[in-house]
Structure formats: C-alpha cells, structure tokens
Amino acid sequence: MGNQVVIFVGTFILLFTGLLLGYVLSQLVLGFLGFNLLTFLGTLSLILIFGTLYYVLFWQLRREQSPSLGGRISSQLDEEVTDSYLKSRLIARLSGDTVAAERLIEQAKQNYPGMPENWYCERVLDDLDRDQR
C-alpha cells in the first residue's frame, strides 16, 4: 500500500514537472520567453526534478522489486538443487538402485502426506541411517 501511494504521488509530480518543463522549453525556443539567469536556473531545476523523480520511480522501485523476485527464483533453484542432491545421496546409499529409492520415497509420501519433496528424501535417508545402526 505504501509503495502504491509513493508511485501515484511521484507519477503525478513527474507528469506535472514534465508538462511545466515542456512549456518552459517551448516558450524559450519560440522566443516568447527571454533567456536569462532566472529562466536558466528554473529550467535546470525542472530538469533535475524530472530526472530525479524518473530515477526514483522507474529504476529504484524496479531494483527493490527485483531481489524479491530473484529471491523467489533462487529459493526455487535451491530447493531443486537440494532435492536432486538428496535424491542422488539416497540413490548412492542404495548402491545405484533408483527403483528402490523411488519406492521408498513413495512409501514415505503415503505415510506422511503433504510434506515437501526434499523432506521425504531426508526422511528416507534418516530411516536408512537408523536401520544401519
């Protein structure tokens, strides 16, 4: 909610500043407004305000939103890597017997429904460790 208010207000100020800057520049080009120190500083300040708001709205907010999206993607990748690593460990523990590994995972899914995929692999590995002791 807070970011939406900032975006709305910033966009409004950006539009207003852009219109004002366009008007001042058009009056300077057409010769209706004399070029002096006051018009130069006013135009320069409008350009700085416009540029700053543009940077804040369209670059900073995108950069703030990207890590969260990147964080979700990286966490999904981490889960996939962890899942494949655990499955590889389980298959190695069973001397390469992938059928037995899949069967044990399916059995764990039936016994404990609704858990994440890597939890089942960890559970089967823990069960195998316990059985070896």
Alpha helices in the chain (DSSP H): 2-30, 37-55, 61-93, 98-111, 117-132
This prediction has a pTM of 0.42
Write out pLDDT tens, residues 56-101. 777 766 766 665 555 555 566 566 667 778 888 888 888 888 898 8
User: What is the distance of C-alpha 68 from the center of its chain?
Assistant: 3
Write out pLDDT tens, residues 91-130. 888 888 889 888 998 998 999 888 888 888 888 888 888 8
